[in-house]
Structure 1
Amino acid sequence: MHNHRPHPHVAIPDARRPPPHGDVYASYPLELSSTSNTLLNPWDAATPTARQPRQPTTRHGIPLRTRSRTRSALEPVPAHLQVPEIYRSSSQRETAHEYYHHRSSKSDSDHPFEDEYSSRSDITSPYSPSFNLSADEADLKLNRLTRELSNITLHSEEGLRRFQDGELEEKDEEWHHLVPAEAREALGKREVERQSVLFEVFKSERDYVADLQLIEEVFVEPLNSASPPIIGDVNRQQNFMSIVFCNLDQIRLHHERMLEALFDRQQEQHPLVQSVADIILESALQFQGDYESYIKHYPLAEQRHRTELKYNKRYQEFLQDCSQDPRLRKRDLITFLSRPVTRLPRLNLILKHLHELTDFNHPDSEDLPVILSILNDFLKSTQPGIEAAENKVKFWDLCESLVFNKGEIIELDWYSDTRSLIYAGALARRSKSEMDWNPWIGLYVALLDNFLLITKEEKRGGVRKRLVVSRPIPLEYLRLGSFEDPPETRKERAEEGGILDSFRGAIRSIYPFTIFHAVEKSTRRYTLYAPSESVRKKWYDALVDAKGVDDVRREANQWFTPQVVEDGAFRVPSHKMPRQTALKRPPSGRVVQAVSFVTNSGKTFMAVGCSTGIFVGRKGENYRKILSFENAKSIIVLQDFNKIIIHHDSYLISYSLEVLARVAQYQSPPSSLDASLETIAGQNVLCCQAGQMGDRTIIVYAVKNFLQTIVHVVEACHPSEIRSASPRVMQAGLLSFRPYGESLYVPKDVFAVMPLAKTIAICTERGIVIANPSSASSSAVTLVPDFGSASHNSATADLKTRCEDAKPLGLVRHDATELMVIYDTMGCYITKYGQPTRDSVFIRWEIKATSFLHRPPHVLLFSSEFIEIRDAQTGLLKQVIEAVDIRLLIQAPLSRGSLYVAMRGQKDDEDGLSDRIVELVETTEITKTPIAAPFKAVEGLWDEWDM
């Protein structure tokens, strides 16, 4: 129903009433062109003649639910619009609420309080606390003012609709453009400011939702529908979409619902909106979880987008096409992706400003602090996540810029979720060359959570690269030197000034600190210089914290955990021992070998080889010296064959395990061992090893001759075969072992032998010889690695040079097609035919290994101070165990039995310094405990307890 009025009506003071003229609407700031003179008054809740209140509805015609209480949320307004505001006390809630369900028409305006609006002071702030008005009087004044405002303009409802639909020009999208000047004067300066800021809430929320919808329409949907996929294959594109756009769809749904509620409130209460605090509070409680996920993830999304943009030409073309959409208004994807990150901080500032302008009697004075507290706490809680994500991005940028020396595998494990950049910055180092005109070298040093990188920055083709000038130092090996040395001076060329100034330069103080590698203490010792004392202090704190966290992490994630077997039974002489007497038991000497075995009775014994002999006893109990073989080179137990093999001096002999255990328990005399003695090799044995070759258990040993080395292989015989042997065979002497295959002749010194699946590996000075003992005369002897392609392949030639300078220790097979060659300082990969693989790259150990052990999937490397545990497939350093005087006590690299290691003990007294025996026990991954089945009560179980 239309509203026909000759002119709008409001009680305006005479001094401010506009002069009469033909067009009474000319002074209105916003007039919509129309061919009809029939205009609507959107501020009336009903037609001019109606007396029943209008039922408010949403934009979709759905009736609004009754609100028991309204709240408000405001945003800042430009300074030129800031005017005083009308205050409403809490006593006005019900009256104001009733008003928004029924707004009086002009016919309702003839009330007894019309003269109250004739004074300017009343118009400015009729509800200020300075007025001595009762609650009823204030209610009447509010009703009077709102009835007058409802009759001021006839076009605002259409303007509001166009605003909500985004049809107005940007310059007209302001509250004061939708309200006449007379209305602003009637409300007063403070309320005008409040309504303007509330209007900004509606406007910013509308724009925000529109941008979120643009992301879906312009970017997400075309990417998903592109065929073929723009981002690689389907799986890679799905991964890209999940990283870059994360949970934007969930955030958009939250704000679409919030915007609909805001627009409904605006339609219901415009132009004098009481509050939107209830809507914002309800929405904030719902979208916090989705915002937290998105904000913490945003740096990763931005980095993934930039990386794809850098390397994917099709993605570049796609974004170029998207930029042609006029709705984007020349904004790029990063601008849209950052909208959720900036939205809540901006809303927080708006509400904070509103709280400052809100009277303590207003309902929002109670609600706004609650919303502000929620938003402030939420924003603070996201900061650590944002910083972590930003550090991850910096870490990726660093990794992409690194340039390593060719040929070496340096696995930083940077694709692990746990990797992060702790601290980084520019430092200086003094040049070692005295002839260098510039004695200072600029470095970029980065501390990761597992490595310290020392690099030198360079620009190559406009791209910043960081050349790794020293191999990364694992934190397990990083040691800190002095951080308290006095500052030194550095002369720097002046950047500005004349020629003489550039030669004169400037003198600056620099602050040194020292770090070094725990193994190469002298050759890998670095004195670095920080530009200030505070930077040096930051480096110290970062290094200490990073090492502390790394120590805790390694302690909680050990692949092999050391467990002490014995510490005190075996001693070496020390300065605390008194002079030896005939009555005192001499120390056992240094432990060099240790094996365990189980007797037929199920008891576990250990045989420990020391510098004074071989001791046998129950594991963890008293040990008795049984054999006087000093410094046994190898002790091998063949449990299934009841044999213990001892390589002593140049002999290789065996004894019965059962007899050895009975002698150790005083159940048999020591002479009974002689009855089980068998001599496998009588002289010049260099080394030996036992292993499996098919279903055979073999012992390989090398005997040095005058001109060459001969490698023999014998097969262990099962006791059942011995019992069924003929007397003639028994008289031959060697009952438990028989020769296998043919002897192998190697013209070089041999220092290690190793049985493989079908062949044996013989470590020599030239390399590792692979031979087949079952057909030695007909099969070719192979030397690995095979460097036949080194003449035309520089990478292979470089690997050959490095291998010739290293000592081979053996081979490790980690799958059916590839083996790992173990040297004392490095490792490389070869095929089953011996050719180098992986482009002839190599892995350099942090230590110089004296022995190794293969426990799939790991390779354990041993030196006197460290045990390195590495992944056999990648070479990645998994764990480091540090001790003093470490010795591997088992000489079977492929053995799956107990793994014993000796190291310096903790006891040092009159009995000497203890040698500790430690077992390295392989750990297993902690899995989730299965959920127990629900408890079922047994019928009648608690009857006697009346339960």
Structure 2
Amino acid sequence: MTFEDYDRALPPWEPAVKSDEDWLLLSKKQDSDPEIDPILQTFAKHAQPRQQPFDPSQRREDSAISDIEKKASLATAIDENKVVSLGSNAEVDEQSKKIEMFELHSKLYLRPGMEQVALNLDHVGRKLIFRGDLQLMRHSTWRKTHVILLDHYLVLAQTVSRVGKGKSEVYDVFKLPIPMELLVLESTNDDPVLKSSVKGVGAVTTGAKSIVDAQNPRLNQIATNDLKSQNALEYAQSNNSMSIMSSVRNSGSAPSNDADAMLMYPFRLQHLGQSHVYTLCATSAQNRQDWCNKIVEAKTHYSTTLSKENSEPFRLRVIADSAFAYDSISASQHSVVSVKGTPLDQALREIERIYGSSRQPPRCRAEVNCAATFNYYGRSLVVIGTDYGVYISEANDPRGWARCIQISRVTQIGILEQFSICLLIADKSLIAYHLDIFIRGFDSPTLNIDSNPPVPQKLSGARDVSFFAIGRMKERTLVFYKKREGLHSTFTVLEPVFVKSSEKKSRSLFDRMRSRETTEFFREFDKFYIPTECLTINLFNEYIAISTSAGFELLTLDKKVLMAIPDLKNPAIKNIAARLANQKPLGMFRLSDLEFLLCFEEISVYVDKHGEVSRSVVMEYEGKAKAAVLYGVYLVLFNSDFVEVRNAENGRLRQVITGRDVKPLDYGISPLGANAATSQSNLPGNSTQKRTLKLAMAHPEVATSRIVLEMVLKDDDDDNSYLRPGIDPMAP
């Protein structure tokens, strides 16, 4: 059979051989129909029939195109479903958090005395960041504590079972909740603590040496020393924790499971303004790290939010970051965990941006006590008094410090630019220096310095001067300094003599040499006595306010008759009088022509111009202040661990600056009153400069260093935002 015959024979059979089933059917009919056999043989030998049929491929192509379209539609549907699911999940998560916050709000019970705490768990935006059970270590006992970390508070509570229709749990808040701005994380990696179960649940070990391997005598010695110093607590070095666990497991005095539960990992929290520190213990190092990370995260978010909202009235500027340091003994006592986003952190990052990470060696390791700023022929200069002398630098050069005067124990500095005089108390003696003496010790060739300034003048005589104050009264610039004589205080009033540098430089060399021997900076103007110990003095246009151990006393230079304010015998203010009992006065400040503020250690009282209490409310502080100053509309209170800034009119807390070893250096008070800048700007070589607050504290990132900061008031003068209320009503 030829190919042509095959082609002629194919069409009749073509429909029958399109599939394997047809081919199989023809094969079965081959025996009964002799015409089928040659056709099948021809198909088997010919190449074309053995090719795959075209229709299935076409069907697969059509199916693939359809699948691609379906898959594209399916992908779009999946993406849309994912968006809807994520939105639903976010909504469910948000609602779940709200439900959790409502449940927490219903389960938290604040004890009496905590009414002023406003947790506001039902407010929009409240977040629960972390929660869990920790052990609170107190003296020689343990207390299981449920710790709740919110976005604005940290709460310490105890889980209590409530008996009723259905058994449920509530949280008894047994410690005052800690606001986020007052929460400080003191340590994150304290050595592990061994908790003994020999004396029962809740007892801190007193004889844990018995479970420590006797083959480790050094560890036994460490444990013995710690038992004496830590009130029956045994601390183990972190790098020895594995050996401790091994020793505990190998010891026959306690089972291994119990020994595993005894190793606790502590970290410390402080509530600023409170006298105690909380030591919380986690059951594992990882759990402790989780808690510390969450606390730092919460504080960072809180600080960043305040910065974005411009809620804090002051920013910080670094005056000195490496020039002043601690000695090796006291450096380890000022550790602190730094937080990102705070004004202090922003100031440090600015210095790092300018100078990089390199640091200069310290210029002084003595105590930093005071500071002042002044202008000298167009240059803004800063001087800092220490126990080792006076140091000077340009205000915009944090690393240009040099000692200009070598003298001991400088505790107070005051500048009278109008008279080119600097007053300082050194070793309890009041001494007056000409400003040229300060500049002469400062290496700055651009400054016009007199090479023969007048010699310093000692004003006080004996070494018993506590403090001085500069003010303007009776159209005169006066200096008041206080000396203690027995049980009473003596105030001497001096008036500076107007001798300017420009006048002195015009003299001949002979006249200048003679003036150094005869010219005096001050003359005595007045003197008066106070029959008690005086703490501070505040000068006003007509009155002098003196803080004593008994309160505030007012007098004038004309009459010198003491008048105590306020009148605490008035029955209308008996509650306020009870609050003021044993309170140390810090200062009296003018709020307006009609109202003044009397500041004490823990509260402030509003009085009118006659000294009578003008409001039935008092301003409550967060802590016990050591010093106070009114700067603009803000009352700034200095504590050893933080600075508290409040609106003086309404008492609202506006800002908290945390640190260690905080010390005020300059209260930002112009010695010539409110118009000082105007009067000084008319002098040759001087320019207007507003005085600022200055403080020193331990460097948060360098253990051995001090940092000197300037509190600069922001340009935003509105006072609508605040952290928390600060005025509490007091019944008259």
Q: When the two structures are superposed, what TM-score results if normalisation uses the length of structure 2?
A: 0.54
2:635 corresponds to 1:859: yes
Choose from 658, 664, 672 the match for 2:453.
672
Choose from 763, 770, 784 the match for 2:554.
770
Aligned residue number for residue 183 of structure 2: 477
Distance in 1 (alpha carbons) for counterparts of 2:307 and 2:193: 30
Choose from 788, 791, 802 the match for 2:569.
788
CA separation of 1:668/1:653 partners in 2, compared to 1, >3 Å: closer, same or farther? same
CA shift for structure 1 position 781: 1.6
Distance in 2 (alpha carbons) for counterparts of 1:738 and 1:398: 71
2:320 corresponds to 1:566: yes
Distance in 1 (alpha carbons) for counterparts of 2:107 and 2:596: 32
Which amino acid is the alignment partner of residue 405 of structure 1?
G
Structure 1 residues 555-579: Cα deviation after superposition (integer angstroms, max 9, x where no partner):
6655433333234445666599xxx
> Could you tell me whether the CA contact under 8 Å between 1:424 and 1:447 is conserved in 2?
yes
2:150 corresponds to 1:448: yes
Distance in 1 (alpha carbons) for counterparts of 2:546 and 2:386: 27
Distance in 2 (alpha carbons) for counterparts of 1:735 and 1:695: 21
CA shift for structure 1 position 807: 2.8
> Could you tell me whether the CA contact under 8 Å between 1:889 and 1:900 is conserved in 2?
yes
Choose from 497, 513, 517 the match for 2:270.
517
2:410 corresponds to 1:628: no
> Could you tell me whether the CA contact under 8 Å between 2:424 and 2:431 is conserved in 1?
yes
> Could you tell me whether the CA contact under 8 Å between 2:667 and 2:694 is conserved in 1?
no
CA shift for structure 1 position 836: 5.3
Question: Match of 2:579, SS?
Answer: helix
CA shift for structure 1 position 878: 3.8
Aligned residue number for residue 533 of structure 2: 749
> Whose helix proportion is higher, 1 or 2?
1
Structure 1 residues 599-658: Cα deviation after superposition (integer angstroms, max 9, x where no partner):
12x122232322222234544365554433311221111233432222233433333335
Question: Match of 2:366, SS?
Answer: coil
CA shift for structure 1 position 709: 1.0
Which amino acid is the alignment partner of residue 427 of structure 2?
D
Distance in 2 (alpha carbons) for counterparts of 1:552 and 1:375: 32
Which amino acid is the alignment partner of residue 126 of structure 2?
S
Greater relative contact order, per chain length (Cα 8 Å cut-off, separation 6+): 2
Question: Match of 1:776, SS?
Answer: coil
Distance in 2 (alpha carbons) for counterparts of 1:625 and 1:534: 49
Aligned residue number for residue 169 of structure 1: none
2:157 corresponds to 1:405: no
Aligned residue number for residue 899 of structure 1: 693
Which amino acid is the alignment partner of residue 565 of structure 1?
I
- Give matches, 1:795-810, under 5 Å: 795-796=575-576, 798-801=578-581, 804=582, 806-810=583-587
CA separation of 1:899/1:374 partners in 2, compared to 1, >3 Å: closer, same or farther? closer
Question: Match of 2:391, SS?
Answer: strand
Structure 1 residues 854-876: Cα deviation after superposition (integer angstroms, max 9, x where no partner):
32333333344433334434545
CA separation of 1:487/1:774 partners in 2, compared to 1, >3 Å: closer, same or farther? same
CA-based RMSD: 5.7
Unpaired runs of at least 5, structure 2? 1-68, 163-168, 203-260, 331-360, 504-514, 672-689, 719-732
CA separation of 1:368/1:565 partners in 2, compared to 1, >3 Å: closer, same or farther? closer
Distance in 1 (alpha carbons) for counterparts of 2:644 and 2:714: 16
Choose from 709, 714, 719 the match for 1:918.
709
Q: When the two structures are superposed, what TM-score results if normalisation uses the length of structure 1?
A: 0.43
CA shift for structure 1 position 517: 1.6
CA shift for structure 1 position 442: 9.4
> Could you tell me whether the CA contact under 8 Å between 2:130 and 2:294 is conserved in 1?
no
Which amino acid is the alignment partner of residue 555 of structure 2?
A
CA separation of 1:523/1:424 partners in 2, compared to 1, >3 Å: closer, same or farther? same
Which amino acid is the alignment partner of residue 435 of structure 2?
L
Question: Match of 2:316, SS?
Answer: strand
Distance in 1 (alpha carbons) for counterparts of 2:91 and 2:368: 56
> Could you tell me whether the CA contact under 8 Å between 2:178 and 2:271 is conserved in 1?
no
Question: Match of 1:788, SS?
Answer: coil
> Could you tell me whether the CA contact under 8 Å between 2:138 and 2:279 is conserved in 1?
no
CA shift for structure 1 position 595: 1.7
- Give matches, 1:792-831, under 5 Å: 795-796=575-576, 798-801=578-581, 804=582, 806-814=583-591, 818-824=595-601, 826-831=602-607
> Could you tell me whether the CA contact under 8 Å between 2:363 and 2:401 is conserved in 1?
no
2:390 corresponds to 1:614: yes
Aligned residue number for residue 646 of structure 1: 424
- Give matches, 1:74-89, under 5 Å: none
CA separation of 1:883/1:867 partners in 2, compared to 1, >3 Å: closer, same or farther? same
Aligned residue number for residue 298 of structure 2: 546
Structure 1 residues 483-538: Cα deviation after superposition (integer angstroms, max 9, x where no partner):
998898879xxxxxxxxxxxxxxxxx9999765326689834265899x9999999
CA separation of 1:776/1:467 partners in 2, compared to 1, >3 Å: closer, same or farther? farther
Distance in 2 (alpha carbons) for counterparts of 1:687 and 1:736: 18
Structure 1 residues 658-710: Cα deviation after superposition (integer angstroms, max 9, x where no partner):
56435645865765231xx4555444322112245586544332222344212
> Could you tell me whether the CA contact under 8 Å between 2:492 and 2:528 is conserved in 1?
yes
How many pairs align?
510
Aligned residue number for residue 850 of structure 1: 626
CA shift for structure 1 position 747: 1.4
Distance in 1 (alpha carbons) for counterparts of 2:76 and 2:365: 81
- Give matches, 1:579-594, under 5 Å: 589-594=366-371
Structure 1 residues 96-116: Cα deviation after superposition (integer angstroms, max 9, x where no partner):
xxxxxxxxxxxxxxxxxxxxx
> Whose strand proportion is higher, 1 or 2?
2
> Could you tell me whether the CA contact under 8 Å between 2:603 and 2:621 is conserved in 1?
yes
CA separation of 1:416/1:782 partners in 2, compared to 1, >3 Å: closer, same or farther? farther
> Could you tell me whether the CA contact under 8 Å between 2:149 and 2:295 is conserved in 1?
yes
- Give matches, 1:285-304, under 5 Å: none
Choose from 657, 662, 671 the match for 1:886.
662
Which amino acid is the alignment partner of residue 420 of structure 1?
R
CA shift for structure 1 position 751: 2.6
> Could you tell me whether the CA contact under 8 Å between 1:701 and 1:753 is conserved in 2?
no
Structure having the higher Rg: 1
CA separation of 1:416/1:697 partners in 2, compared to 1, >3 Å: closer, same or farther? farther
2:435 corresponds to 1:657: yes
CA separation of 1:797/1:646 partners in 2, compared to 1, >3 Å: closer, same or farther? closer
CA shift for structure 1 position 715: 5.1
Which amino acid is the alignment partner of residue 642 of structure 1?
S
Aligned residue number for residue 46 of structure 1: none
Percent of aligned pairs with the same amino acid: 18
- Give matches, 1:37-436, under 5 Å: 376=85, 378-383=87-92, 386=95, 405=113, 410=116, 420-422=126-128
Question: Match of 2:454, SS?
Answer: helix
CA shift for structure 1 position 760: 2.4
CA shift for structure 1 position 799: 0.5
Structure 1 residues 726-765: Cα deviation after superposition (integer angstroms, max 9, x where no partner):
xxxx99988765666x644321112322224542222222
Question: Match of 1:890, SS?
Answer: strand
Which amino acid is the alignment partner of residue 546 of structure 1?
A
Aligned residue number for residue 34 of structure 1: none
> Could you tell me whether the CA contact under 8 Å between 1:818 and 1:829 is conserved in 2?
no
Distance in 2 (alpha carbons) for counterparts of 1:738 and 1:424: 66
CA separation of 1:385/1:650 partners in 2, compared to 1, >3 Å: closer, same or farther? same
> Could you tell me whether the CA contact under 8 Å between 1:690 and 1:754 is conserved in 2?
no
